[in-house]
Amino acid sequence: MHVFNRTRCLQITAALASISLLAGCGLISDSSGDQSKRITVGTTSAPSTLDPAAAWDGSWELYRNVYQTLLAFPTGSTKPQPDAAQSCEFTDAANEAYRCTLRKGLKFSDGEALDAKAVKYSLDRIRTIGSKVGPKDLFGSLERIETPDPLTVVFQLKTPDATFPFVLGSPAASLVAPKEYPANKVRDDGKVTGSGPYVLDSYKEGVEAVLGNYDNYQGFAQRRNTGVTIRYFTDSKKMVGALKGKEIDATYRGLSAAEIKDLQSPASHAAGIQVVDNVGAEIRYLVFNPKDPAVAKPAVRQAIAQVIDRGALVTKVYQGTAEPLYSMVPKGVVGHKTPFYDRYGQANADKAKKILRDADITAPVELTFWYTTDRYGSSTALEFEEIKRQLDATGLFKITLRNKPWKAFQEGYKNGEYPVFGRGWFPDFPDPDNFIAPFVGKENAVGTPYENQEILTTLLPKSRRESDRSAVTQDFDRAQQIFAEDVRLLPLWQGKLYVAAGEDIAGGERALDPQTAMQMWELYRKTSW
């Protein structure tokens, strides 16, 4: 059984739904917004592909705006709501058959009907293509899709999975026009044919995506602008400069801690910049690849866990925009515990030395740590320099740092090429399952097989039979303890999410959905300040 039966289950926590505005930076929605104005948004997170069958990453941000899903998460919702579907429900007590009835008259932007067969085609091709970096594993619990009539889709599941609706509400389940997307390979012509709130008018890879309103859209989103241009930056400094120079209206993703502090300053506020501070479940962590002879030894991984000083890391690098994380399940998510702190406590080189000595491992242990240069912002390099400094200072390790741009980096970790590497995780849903299941199994989100049988065969299946997510804490408490014992992953910090915008832009407080993708339709330019 693949680990990813999938899960995504969340009753999204109130913490994520609540958004606090920084003092002096009120971003208040104004229904008098000028609908005739386009919005330009900057980000450092460019899509890796335009085809949803081949991306399980920040590409979802674009997908949320140009593709439609059967269900979705309107701002503030705690469970999936109908989008392309008119209604959806489990039809059996065992939660193994899920039926959706589509809205009538849905069409893709090429005029093709969005019917039950198109839904089946869209989701079947994800599994047929089977991209290593795609979302196929999110559909691990799906056995088959039935289409009894043009408006009805029935998902037959292999095992009970009360969280399956949350999968259908994620961009992993983006619906595509069958005539434009090959059934067995990724579309690669740089175009999009969906049924979302926007159409992709033009696209320059790594440069910009120009979105125009899709006039025949039928769904939950209510557009408050006439279109959006997304500009992609590889340098956050240039992105901030573009915001200050009024070349872009808003920024999201990739801001360094120093840049956030600068944008929050009285001087920036006086210059017409506002910042929205969002409570989020974004995490950063290290992945250990047991294919490497040194990393394969549990004592090496445990010694690293014993040495890392998260407090120093977030203070020096993130300056209050992040906090130490001692579990893969972050604060604000049901079932959060602190097993890495409970087991290892404060950073202690003497304890780490004993761990290595007891395992007959001679120091220094030489390792190469890898990170990506253009996915998570410019602070990533500083973060790894601090990690190297901490480990090298003990005399127990000798760390070499290497990096690659995201596309090459992604291919490398999926092929198991890196001994230790850094990743970020933006939740599909802020449910504890979503911070455990993606990282275990023969095939998983980080490309390093981790087949812990207790998690795979007992804890995950048991938790997925429970619709009340508050009742699964004991299962995930145990899973978190196992993670701390094995140290196949090492959680580092949990961050906040920030949207910075010009003072004439409203809607930023509503723009982030539970998957932390920006819902561009919420942004608009006010007629007056």
Mean pLDDT across the stretch 64-76?
Answer: 90
How far, CA to CA in Å, does 386 sit from each of 22, 30, 271, 390, 392?
29, 43, 33, 6, 10
Mean pLDDT across the stretch 223-248?
Answer: 95
> Which string of DSSP letters, residue by residue, matches 261-279?
HHHHSHHHHHTTEEEEEEE
pLDDT at 47: 94
Confidence of residue 430 (pLDDT cuts 50, 70, 90): low
- Map tokens 């910090």 to a residue: 493
Task: Answer whether residue 20 shows pLDDT above 60.
Answer: no
| pLDDT tens-digit series, residues 95-152 | 889 999 999 999 999 999 999 999 999 999 999 999 988 999 889 899 999 999 999 9
Structure tokens at 424: 């970020």
According to DSSP H, which parts of 308-368 are helical? 310-313, 339-344, 349-358
Q: What is the separation of C-alpha 373 from the centre of its chain, rounded to a whole number of angstroms? A: 18
Comparing 448 with 34, the larger pLDDT belongs to 448
Comparing 518 with 419, the larger pLDDT belongs to 419
> What's the farthest any 2 CA atoms get from each other in the chain?
70
Give the DSSP H or E segment for 257. Answer: helix 257-264
Structure tokens at 356: 């290595």
**Which of the residue ranges 75-89, 395-409, 418-432 has the most confident prediction, judged by mean pLDDT?**
395-409
Confidence of residue 22 (pLDDT cuts 50, 70, 90): very low
| pLDDT tens-digit series, residues 443-478 | 888 999 999 999 999 999 998 888 777 888 999 999
Mean pLDDT across the stretch 235-254?
Answer: 92
Mean pLDDT across the stretch 9-27?
Answer: 32
Measured over the CA atoms of residue 164, residue 165, residue 167 and residue 173, the dihedral's sign is positive
Q: What 3-state DSSP class applies to 187?
A: coil
Burial of 182 (0-12, 13-18, 19+ CB in 10 A): middle
Task: Answer whether residue 333 shows pLDDT above 90.
Answer: no
Mean pLDDT across the stretch 49-61?
Answer: 93
Mean pLDDT across the stretch 49-54?
Answer: 97
Comparing 48 with 468, the larger pLDDT belongs to 48
How far, CA to CA in Å, does 414 sit from each of 73, 292, 448, 514?
30, 14, 8, 26
Which DSSP state fits 522? G
Q: Are 340 and 484 in contact, with CB atoms under 8 Å apart? A: yes
Q: Are 480 and 329 in contact, with CB atoms under 8 Å apart? A: yes
Q: Are 170 and 138 in contact, with CB atoms under 8 Å apart? A: yes
**For residue 337, is it left (φ>0), alpha (ψ between -120 and 50) or beta?**
beta
Structure tokens at 28: 């208040």
Rounded to an integer, what distance in angstroms lies between the CA atom of residue 166 and that of residue 169?
A: 5
Structure tokens at 135: 């979302």
Confidence of residue 36 (pLDDT cuts 50, 70, 90): low
Mean pLDDT across the stretch 158-162?
Answer: 89
Task: Answer whether residue 295 shows pLDDT above 70.
Answer: yes
Q: Are 431 and 8 in contact, with CB atoms under 8 Å apart? A: yes
Mean pLDDT estimate for the chain: 89
Which DSSP state fits 170? S
Cβ neighbours for 154, distance < 8 A, ≥ 6 positions apart: 91, 97, 98, 99, 100, 145, 146, 147, 148
Choose among 381, 303, 317, 307: nearest CA to 346: 307
Confidence of residue 426 (pLDDT cuts 50, 70, 90): confident
| pLDDT tens-digit series, residues 272-282 | 999 988 766 78
With vertex at residue 521, the alpha carbon angle to CA 519 and CA 522, rounded to the nearest 5 degrees, is: 80
Task: Answer whether residue 516 shows pLDDT above 80.
Answer: no
Cβ neighbours for 189, distance < 8 A, ≥ 6 positions apart: none
Task: Answer whether residue 302 shows pLDDT above 80.
Answer: yes
Give the DSSP H or E segment for 360. Answer: none
Least confident of 36-40, 106-110, 215-219, 454-458: 36-40
pLDDT at 58: 85
Rounded to an integer, what distance in angstroms lies between the CA atom of residue 294 and that of residue 396?
A: 13
Quote the pTM value. 0.75
